[in-house]
Amino acid sequence: MAGSEYHEGVEGDVNKDYDVIIIGGGPAALAAAVYTCRALLKTVILEKKYLGGQLVGTELIENYPGFPEVIGGFELTQRMEAQAKRFGAEIRYEEVSKLDLEKGLKVITTDVDKYASPIVILASGADPKKLGVPGEEEFYGKGVSYCATCDGAFYRGKKVVVAGGGDSAITEGIFLTKYAQTVQIIHRRDEFRATKIYLDDAFSNPKIKVILNTVIESIYGKEKVDGVVTQNMVTKEKTDIRCDGVFVFIGSSPNTSFLGNLLCVDAGCHIETNIHMETAIEGLYAVGDIRKNSYRQIATAIGEGVTAAIAAEHKLAELKASGKLKK
């Protein structure tokens, strides 16, 4: 592995031992690490909490190729971690607070150390926005979900509630009708923000019931979700709605605060990339939920991680050949 080739770039007490630094520890990050390590590039993953990201909170996964018997998110994460480590990936549990550019290198500051590398892959993910109501955290993975594509099939013949009023809420609600007996879409305003064509499809679907001017006040149950309590914003009337699942689609918040003004992002703070997952900054890549137009699926996140890793390998060779990297 190349490792410590970049000593003449950034001065001071900085760890310059890595060819590739990956920020985040979800499926995209772990997939990227497998490929960069197999390319003999010394790689470190910087993860602030735990590996797997939102994958860990998914109880059962049945749409990931190669596991016809389904697999739990925690177990799948463990397998990905073992594979990345087998090829030499290092994993450090540190929170990234800042990313700067200096003399052709990306300089990363964490709560533990400071790093510099020519290649950085951003895979810090996005957290779904929460309702912030009682029962939401307690029943996450036990009836509360933020991904219909991931969990919808577990609700065949059952009653579900969807919270939200944008395109995601409507399209995911329509998707859920493939499995659920009924889908009640609850929105706090008097009209939806979603695209008209999606709304037309939803309103014409006999399985969908729309409830406007209403918020979910709490989610309740014993071992799993049994229902929600709602309140009408106009009449203040409270209603108990029995259901088996609650799907929340009120947006997501990419973990991009450490970038400051370094990159141009969209209104939702997602990062734009080219087809190689490279951002507007050479040698800086973005993959997974942090990326604009991401499909937020395990399989696509892994594909993006692999794409970025291969592109990064080629980019590093190009930088060395051009003399942009001082040895």
Q: Which of 198, 205, 124 is nearest to 166 (CA)?
A: 198
Question: In the annotation, is 19 catalytic?
Answer: no
DSSP codes joined into one string, 217-285: EEEEESSSEEEEEEEETTT--EEEEE-SEEEE-S-EEES-GGGTTSS-B-TT-PBP--TTSB-SSTTEE
Mean pLDDT lowest for which of 85-89, 170-174, 294-298? 294-298
pLDDT on residue 269:
75
pLDDT at position 94 is 97
Q: Catalytic: which of 19, 37, 147, 243?
A: 147
151 noted as active-site residue = yes
Q: Where are the domains of the chain?
A: 20-128+252-322, 144-248
Confidence at residue 9, expressed as pLDDT on a 0 to 100 scale:
57
Confidence of residue 57 (pLDDT cuts 50, 70, 90): low
Residue 142 has pLDDT above 70, yes or no: yes
Identify the CATH number of the domain defined by range 20-128+252-322.
3.50.50.60
pLDDT in tens, 76-115: 999 999 999 999 999 999 999 999 999 889 999 999 999 9
Tens digits of residue pLDDT in 4-20: 455 455 667 899 999 99
User: Can you give the pLDDT at residue 6?
Assistant: 54
- So what's the pLDDT on residue 1? 45
Instruction: For residue 243, indicate whether it is catalytic.
Output: no
Please state the pTM of the whole predicted model: 0.76
Catalytic one of 17, 151, 244, 289: 151
Yes or no: is domain 144-248 CATH 3.50.50.60?
yes
Predicted pLDDT of residue 82: 98
Asked if 20-128+252-322 and 144-248 have one fold, the answer is yes
Catalytically annotated residue among 17, 37, 150, 244 = 150
